Chains A and B, each alone.
Chain A
């Protein structure tokens, strides 16, 4: 009698533990993020850019999302009971739509933070989930779809460099030295050296090159104001009806470990981002420095030129190793060639977008 009582009590106790056992599942049965895929499309007639991010997980994740205005316009997507694990979010494929993606582990949940350059309204974003598809060999996914409209710009391009007018602006110069390298190099000189190399290669490929300066001078004169100086540079592109405008710069940071190549643009037409991405990809591919992406910025010369424009920041002169690389003639030659290749790629892409090819 007594034994039976104890036995049933034990069974009851054991049964009541079961749900707890299930809840306290060991870490390897928790959903994990294994990777992510970006896709992007541009409609050249409407200027609608669509970006889709598929975040892959080992198990289906329950998802919550909301928009914030402060500290920035952001979409916060929470994947419940999901571990970020070793996954690190990469660069956004289009900084006009998503400036930055970051991921943080918040207790049992993975939180994805997507930064937008501007206000995002309902209808401009959608968050959904897709179950694993064994036929297509695709895992469980969280799908984030975003869109933004960019001015189309009344521009047409044909593929190829022959006959194209390229404005090149070696940044700074004259009374403005630009950044100073830790080993003593001057940004204004690096900018000019690289620009002249690119000029020679572009002319060889059949393009006409307009330079804002070909020596160590202030473009609008030593006594000019900042506005006169920067306007004079943009005008070289505008007055000569250049097809594209490229400003060549080298970066600097107080952090001596800062490293990498960045290309900046201002999304005044759908082509500005294409130009920046083409140049950025070509520079990273042949130069081999860290890819910091094509980013939007409110920079004077790319904003105040009427044609697609990009501002290159080839690398960091404040980083001792990188400064050495930037001064290496072989590296400079590779980047000059990358400018040619990037432009070739851009004109091909731009022609396709408008159905000119």
Chain B
């Protein structure tokens, strides 16, 4: 029995080798260089509204590691959380125009839809703004964030917060 099993395994392996060889014969020269490199991803923490919608809660996301990493992190924030108990905090139709880092300040530029809702409660405004700030300051090269809309500085989002200067993480938004 043992012998037989080993024998059939050997046959299987042989078949596999032959099949692979056949494949490469058909597709030409599958040299490693011409194969598309698997995309390197990194784990990025993205912050959404916690179940109480007053604090923030993070979700880990695999995001492609390239020059658009921070922009993709913002797009993941806009797309909303995977966990149904968490709250999306930015309007889903918002587009990210760019995220540029200079002197530890990230300039995060969004489309006009960020203000799709002209006004909201201050709790909603604090949550939306701090989700952007907390997510971008997860990157060690970012300490503060300046929010732009259509390339321009804005005074406020929903009429309470002063967004005219870059802001760092505000305290009291994480539960523990």
Contacts and interface: CB of A to CB of B under 8 A. Distances in A.
Interface of A: 71-73, 95, 99-100, 102, 104, 113, 115-118, 171-172, 175-179, 187, 225-227, 229-230, 249-255, 258, 264, 295, 297-300, 303-304, 311, 313, 316-318
B164 interface: yes
A331 to B, nearest CB: 18
B170 interface: yes
A300 B124 CA distance: 16
Given A299-B160, A300-B155, A115 B49 contact: no
Name the residue in B154, B170, B175 with the highest tally of chain A Cβ atoms < 10 Å from its Cβ: B170
B126 A297 contact: yes
A300 B156 contact: yes
Query: What 3 pairs across the A-B complex have the smallest Cβ distances?
Result: A252-B121, A255-B53, A227-B155
Contacts of B173: 72
Interface of B: 49, 51-54, 87, 118-124, 126, 134, 154-156, 159-162, 164, 167, 169-176
Contacts of A172: 119, 159
Nearest to B121: A252
A318 B120 CA distance: 10
Given A226-B154, A254-B124, A295 B159 contact: no
Nearest to B167: A298
A117 B119 contact: no
20 contacts: A71-B134, A99-B172, A100-B171, A115-B171, A176-B159, A225-B155, A227-B164, A229-B159, A230-B155, A230-B156, A253-B54, A254-B124, A297-B160, A297-B161, A298-B170, A299-B161, A300-B160, A311-B160, A313-B121, A313-B123
A187 B118 CA distance: 13
Contacts of B161: 297-300
A171 B159 contact: yes
A318 B154 CA distance: 26
Contacts of B134: 71
B59 to A, nearest CB: 14
Given A102-B176, A254-B53, 15 more contacts: A73-B171, A95-B172, A102-B175, A171-B160, A172-B119, A176-B119, A178-B159, A187-B121, A226-B159, A227-B156, A230-B156, A255-B52, A258-B52, A264-B122, A313-B122
A252 B120 contact: yes
B86 to A, nearest CB: 11
A23 to B, nearest CB: 28
Contacts of A229: 159
B119 A178 contact: yes
Contacts of A116: 171
Contacts of B171: 72-73, 99-100, 115-118
A44 B5 CA distance: 88
